[in-house]
Each structure stands twice: as structure tokens, then as C-alpha cells.
């Protein structure tokens, strides 16, 4: 216990990413990319082959290598575990697959109170021992590079949206109609998924990850009132319990299209709020106040442009933060598969080379 907390302290002193999570000043702006590991990398496609992504995740040697690929290639300031938000529900046997080019698909979607029985608690050391082995491997490798590992889980609402819809959805119509017509059942569902997120992230942190991100990617589809009533209580519980168990590990909370919800994402208990590209960083800062760090927020679509365009837009993101401590450069959402890795490499160089006027 002592050794791990000492390790965290020395990591915190050295890591620009962990310092920025705590709103401490850093010499360079730290940077990592959501979906940095994945289909935009030829070395990923080569390792991954065909087959289900869930099988790849269940193979610690391969998952370790895939997580390390972008760290080596790009020189980013943090690694994110190669896994998926659907892994815990898959591991307890809900019946999920991840279909290439589609995303998570659920054979028997969540419909009635009976389906709650299909969501038993997660026993991480038994159900997802492969994830913990991958984390253990990674922590040993990343320590040599002084790069921290980010643990993660899907937030209850976003995982619920896949379980209820049965797959990706643009409207989240079934999810919203269940939420409004049977709030009690919806809240019971979110509660179970909250327990899964806590158990999963907690086990990754115990295995040595240094920070965590709770992905509520699709929560931006809700109104402020809906968020407050249906989502905030469970997300608050996730952050509070993780804080209690892992005092040292900063928590990041991210969703797409959350301009109206930003201050509520912080109110859930996040140390860092991920901002998508729709809200400019100076406006996000105003909505969030000074006690929370921000992560973001270059539009991933712009990475398909020529380098001078990318450089201009990235510089604009940096300038809008005005040098305030507590900025982690990232994209507004994940790297698109068509992205040229060379552009991401250049982008890391630009961010690391950027200096604010004194």
C-alpha cells in the first residue's frame, strides 16, 4: 500500500498529465488522444487481425502492446488502457459483442425489470482478470517511460443506452422513452451499471493505473433537468466512491455535446472535465470555474485537413486556455479511423513546443 502511494507521489511530481489533472502548473501542456490506440494505426490493424475485439482485449500480451503503440509512436503524456466500455457487461454475461465498423451490439436488449437479473455484480479478479493482467503489465512498462496509465469505464447512462437500444443509436429513443415512462426501472438499471463502473475502475486503479476517465459519451442527448434527475445521482456516487477508495487518482468525466451540462459534469465530482469541440475552451472555462481542469478540445474531423490548417486550429485551442494551469490537450472526441498518424505525431510536437507569453 505504502509503496504504491509513494510511487504515485513520485509519478505526480514528474507527470505533466497528472499535475494538470490537479490544476498544477506544467512546463509543457500535456497531451493524449481519445482512441489513440486503434484503427488509425497500421501496427494496430496488423496485430488485431480479424475476430472479435473482445477476444483481443482478453489477451493481455496483445492488449498491452496495443496500449503501448501510440505511446511509442506519438510520445503522448498518458496511456489509455486498450479495452472497451462494454467489457464489464460482457464479462458478467449480458450478451454483448463489438462489431467492427458498427460498435457494441446486444443480442437481447434490456426491456423489463426481469432483465435486471442479468446484471449481477462484477467480480473483477475473476470476471476480468485479463484486464488486471494487462494493467499490471502496462504499469511495469510505462514506469520506465514515466507515463501514467488511465483506467476507464463507461458511465451508467452511456452503457445503459447500448443495453436498451441493442446497439448504436442516433436518437436514443428507446432509452429516453424507458427513462420517462418507467423512471424507477431506469434508475435501478443505472444503479447497477454504477456498481459495475465503480468495481471496474477501482480494480484497474488497485492494479496500478494512476487516473481514470468515466466516459458518458452520449449523455449530451439529455436536457439539463433529465440529467439532474436521472444521471447525476449515480455519476456522483461513482466519483464519490472512487475518491474514497483511491484518494490519489484524479477522475476525468467526458461526454459529447455536453455544452449545457458542463457544470453538472463537474458537479458529479470530476477533477477534469472533457470538453468536445462545440464549446470553445475559454467559454468552457467560464462555465466550469477555476477549480476544475479541462481536457480537449480540437475537432477530430479537422485532423483530416492539411497540416497548416491543423496547426492553426490546435494553436487556437491552446491560445483560448490563456496559459491557465489545468489544461490537458486532447481532441473533442476520439481519433477518426481515417486520420493519418503522421498528423497526430506533428500535433504532439506542436502542443509540447507551445509556450504562453510570460
Please give the positions annotated as active site: 35, 39, 48, 84, 162
Which span (32-40, 170-178, 199-207, 324-332) binds ligand CP3, by CB under 6 A? Answer: 32-40
Long-range contacts: 35-39, Cβ < 8 Å, 24+? 35/334, 35/335, 36/70, 36/74, 36/76, 36/80, 36/335, 36/344, 37/66, 37/67, 37/69, 37/70, 37/80, 37/82, 38/334, 38/335, 38/337, 39/337
Among 104, 148, 208, 251, binds ligand CP3 (CB under 6 A): 104
By the rule CB under 6 A, 42 interacts with ligand CP3: no
Least distance CB 351 / ligand CP3 (angstroms): 17
By the rule CB under 6 A, 103 interacts with ligand CP3: yes
Q: What mask, x for binding ligand CP3 by CB under 6 A, covers residues 312 to 341? A: ----------------------x-------
Contacts with ligand CP3: how many residues (CB under 6 A)? 24
Q: What mask, x for binding ligand CP3 by CB under 6 A, covers residues 134 to 163? A: ------------------x-----------
Contact 91, 54 (CB under 8 A): no
Q: Which residues, including other chains, have CB under 8 Å from residue 75's CB and lie 6 or more apart? A: 345, 348, 352
Least distance CB 354 / ligand CP3 (angstroms): 23
Q: Which is nearer to ligand CP3, 130 or 324 (CB)?
A: 130
Among 19, 48, 90, 287, binds ligand CP3 (CB under 6 A): 48
Q: Which residue has the cell 460482457?
A: 90
Among 12, 34, 151, 219, binds ligand CP3 (CB under 6 A): 34
Among 15, 60, 68, 84, binds ligand CP3 (CB under 6 A): 84
| Positive or negative: CA dihedral 78, 83, 85, 88 | negative
Least distance CB 141 / ligand CP3 (angstroms): 16
By the rule CB under 6 A, 53 interacts with ligand CP3: yes
Neighbour-count burial of 190, counting CB atoms closer than 10 A to its CB (0-12 exposed, 13-18 middle, 19+ buried): buried
Q: Which is nearer to ligand CP3, 82 or 186 (CB)?
A: 82
By the rule CB under 6 A, 39 interacts with ligand CP3: yes
CA atoms of 230 and 216, how far apart (whole Å): 13
Among 20, 71, 98, 193, binds ligand CP3 (CB under 6 A): 98
The site for ligand CP3 (CB under 6 A) is made up of 34-39, 48, 53, 80, 82-85, 98, 100-104, 152, 168, 215, 217, 334
Amino acid at each position: 500500500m505504502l509503496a504504491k502511494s509513494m510511487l504515485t507521489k513520485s509519478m505526480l511530481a514528474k507527470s505533466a498529465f497528472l499535475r494538470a489533472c490537479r490544476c498544477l502548473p506544467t512546463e509543457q501542456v500535456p497531451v493524449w488522444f481519445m482512441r489513440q490506440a486503434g484503427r488509425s494505426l497500421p501496427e494496430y490493424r496488423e496485430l488485431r487481425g480479424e475476430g472479435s475485439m473482445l477476444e483481443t482485449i482478453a489477451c493481455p500480451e496483445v492488449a498491452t502492446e496495443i496500449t503501448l503503440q501510440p505511446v511509442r509512436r506519438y510520445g503522448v503524456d498518458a496511456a489509455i488502457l486498450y479495452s472497451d466500455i462494454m467489457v464489464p457487461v460482457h464479462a458478467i454475461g449480458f450478451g454483448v459483442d463489438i462489431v467492427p465498423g458498427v460498435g457494441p451490439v446486444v443480442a437481447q436488449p434490456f426491456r423489463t425489470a426481469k432483465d435486471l437479473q442479468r446484471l449481477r455484480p462484477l467480480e473483477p479478479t475473476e470476471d476480468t482478470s485479463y484486464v488486471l493482467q494487462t494493467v499490471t503489465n502496462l504499469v511495469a512498462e510505462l514506469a520506465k517511460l514515466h507515463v501514467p496509465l488511465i483506467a476507464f469505464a463507461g458511465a451508467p447512462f452511456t452503457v445503459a443506452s447500448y443495453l436498451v437500444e441493442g446497439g448504436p443509436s442516433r436518437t436514443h429513443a428507446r432509452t429516453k422513452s424507458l427513462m420517462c415512462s418507467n423512471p424507477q426501472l431506469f434508475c435501478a438499471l443505472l444503479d447497477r451499471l454504477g456498481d459495475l463502473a465503480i468495481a471496474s475502475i477501482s480494480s484497474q486503479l488497485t492494479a496500478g493505473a494512476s487516473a481514470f476517465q468515466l466516459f458518458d459519451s452520449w449523455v449530451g442527448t439529455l436536457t439539463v433537468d433529465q440529467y439532474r434527475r436521472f444521471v447525476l445521482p449515480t455519476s456522483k456516487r461513482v466519483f464519490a466512491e472512487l475518491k474514497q477508495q483511491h484518494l490519489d487518482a484524479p477522475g476525468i468525466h467526458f461526454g459529447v455535446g455536453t455544452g449545457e451540462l458542463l457544470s453538472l459534469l463537474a458537479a458529479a465530482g470530476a477533477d477534469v472535465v472533457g470538453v468536445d469541440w462545440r464549446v470553445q475552451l475559454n467559454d468552457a472555462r467560464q462555465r466550469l470555474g477555476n477549480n476544475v481542469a479541462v481536457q480537449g478540445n480540437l475537432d477530430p474531423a479537422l485532423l483530416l485537413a492539411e497540416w497548416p490548417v491543423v496547426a492553426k486550429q490546435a494553436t487556437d485551442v491552446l491560445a483560448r486556455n490563456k496559459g491557465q494551469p489545468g489544461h490537458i490537450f486532447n481532441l473533442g472526441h476520439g481519433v477518426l479511423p481515417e486520420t493519418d498518424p503522421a498528423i497526430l505525431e506533428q500535433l504532439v510536437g506542436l502542443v509540447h513546443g507551445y509556450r504562453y507569453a510570460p
